[in-house]
A and B are shown apart, each in its own frame.
Chain A
């Protein structure tokens, strides 16, 4: 099993599965309502030209969030 990393540290183009989520916080709840839950696979598509925000693909659609929001989401990188 690969080491757990913050979603904000995931390199562009890599895939991962969500492992931990903060229990509280508005961002945390909205992200989950948008379908980003523990166990959900995702792919980091790209970073914006200045490195922030990031764009991920989850459940078949594209979502952007700031690195500050992504830092709370812990993911497990997957081998391609």
Chain B
């Protein structure tokens, strides 16, 4: 089969915030496959569109990029796919370049690089309506003339221009750009030499080789990603030789190239656009004067965040209860239809129970993803990063870590998945490592139970309870920032990352795109984390169910002599210094599934299973629990220590599964579990021993 017989593959490229996702959704409908580029955590989106004759056309939505000289893993993937450096993705035959018409010059920079690739290109001038509103006149026909390729004005949000675009994409024989530009003389011989070497040693086609040669020269300490073919040795050598020579001569080779591109672009822009310069501030400017205001800015941030948390806790509660109830129903139904036995218990207690635990959190996760998507698509996310950057930089992070960390107060999973907006790999990793220290909602039941056990009776004021709660949240927050500071200084030391960020104009969010994004993200979580979670649930079930106690034993007796019970005994010497006995040990082990499981496990351990929210029986049982020598087990100090332990300990298999996915290795989730558990133990030790010494 010749390449002409196969339907052409289109790649969609464009700057961030140019409306690329909206256009991709409009072109492909829901015919999308979302995955990951193997080896890197960059989202891979491939969709199917149809030509005017109904022929399927494959469209690859490449990550947003400002330049092909990559500064982030996202940009590196875009560059490598376009250059045919990735074995996992077909090299696109044709390229759709999306340009934000309100921001012509900077967007044309990427177009200019893409034109060098020697593939047929279609330029889509998106957001024409916004350009017109801001008094910009853009002559698309003139740009088409100058570049010699189709230039299609478009408004992706309301579907204008899509028919014309589809028509252009359906052409059997799209033109190559006639646009030519002169490579600056200072570097032209280097380009020629690199090009020849890439053809001879890398097996590249001449035009792609020229484009790659040009890129290599702007690519000062460029980002390399796993899964891409590295440069051949000979070419690498030529490149180094030239760079050394230019360095000694003081030639600004990379800058020369950027300058000459912008010279050409300046000429193009002057010819095709007329700006009616108005001094009047735009709507975006006016919003910004409030949102980034030294006083009002904080107020807005506070209101946005309060709204987020209020809606998570109020909107998520009903569906969470519903899912909880249905999980129980399903388990009960299974108990009725299946004969009693291990297989039934495996299904009801291991599989349904374990998966139910995770699915219960889904409403929360969905709402968080929705909000994060909303913040991203309106442009507020960039403002939050802008005003928070200074504070975050104190611990070596940048403003972009703020929203992921904040989301982690509700649940670390969406927070960790939202770190993909952080370009710098080390910053992103540090953010992932500390995110679970923010007290998430699964810790609440543990805190509540411990506060109740700590302060039994009705005489305790609400203020005291709230105060303890606030203290725990503060402890987690300080812990997160402290560890971030530590990691940035030791393990993940590096150059201070760039904080060069565009503040895109505010835009009304497209609910459809935000919803689609939310569903995609949650689907990824369920699919990828699901297997790990299922496996751990089954293991935890096995530990609690075996070996079997003699017939007639109660649940409490069964658990006490199970592997989990023995493990509780086994770790007692380890946890005794922090005031815990083997029974609490069982709770620690079983709540590895999810923190709130601690509460139900305590119910089984102390034979005080309670129904739903009411934990009075359990509180009573905890109050009566003693060490073998008759000392009270849950002294106020132990309750506090236990809370502190839960502030720091990892205790969440879903987070582990997500970190494994987001870092592409078991190394980081294991390290994270180890450091968090270690920190939990050490800090609990200090609290317990310190408290004991002080006579508490």
Give the B-binding residues of A (Cβ under 8 A). Answer: 21, 23-24, 26-35, 37-38, 45-46, 48-53, 55, 59-66, 68-69
- State in angstroms the CA–CA spacing of A24 and B255 once bound together: 8
21 contacts between A and B (CB under 8 A): A29-B218, A29-B254, A30-B66, A30-B71, A32-B258, A32-B262, A33-B66, A33-B69, A33-B218, A34-B502, A46-B288, A48-B292, A49-B292, A50-B390, A51-B390, A53-B386, A55-B386, A60-B102, A60-B275, A61-B504, A69-B498
Q: Do B259 and A49 have beta carbons less than 8 Å apart?
A: no
Interface size on B, residues (CB 8 A): 45
Number of A-B contacts (CB under 8 A): 119
B294 within 8 Å of A (CB atoms): yes
Q: Do A26 and B498 have beta carbons less than 8 Å apart?
A: yes
A61 CB → nearest B CB, Å? 5
A69 CB → nearest B CB, Å? 7
Q: Do B499 and A29 have beta carbons less than 8 Å apart?
A: no
Q: Do A66 and B259 have beta carbons less than 8 Å apart?
A: no
Residues of chain B with a CB closer than 8 A to A31's CB: 500
A8 CB → nearest B CB, Å? 13
A34 and B66 contact, Cβ closer than 8 Å, known pairs A48-B386, A64-B503: yes
Residues of chain B with a CB closer than 8 A to A48's CB: 292, 386-387, 389-390
Partner of B258, one of A37, A49, A61, A64: A37
In B521-561, which residues have CB < 8 Å from any A CB? none
A49 CB → nearest B CB, Å? 4
Residue ID in chain A nearest B108 by CB atoms: A35
Q: Do B255 and A26 have beta carbons less than 8 Å apart?
A: no
In B442-460, which residues have CB < 8 Å from any A CB? none
- State in angstroms the CA–CA spacing of A32 and B261 once bound together: 11
B391 within 8 Å of A (CB atoms): yes
Q: Do A61 and B502 have beta carbons less than 8 Å apart?
A: yes
Q: Do B501 and A64 have beta carbons less than 8 Å apart?
A: yes
Q: Do A30 and B103 have beta carbons less than 8 Å apart?
A: no
Residues of chain B with a CB closer than 8 A to A38's CB: 259
Most buried by A among B67, B399, B503, B504: B503
B423 CB → nearest A CB, Å? 10
Q: Do B499 and A64 have beta carbons less than 8 Å apart?
A: yes
Q: Do A61 and B500 have beta carbons less than 8 Å apart?
A: no
- State in angstroms the CA–CA spacing of A52 and B496 once bound together: 15
- State in angstroms the CA–CA spacing of A64 and B389 once bound together: 11
B237 within 8 Å of A (CB atoms): no
Q: Do B220 and A62 have beta carbons less than 8 Å apart?
A: no
Residues of chain A with a CB closer than 8 A to B502's CB: 34, 61-64
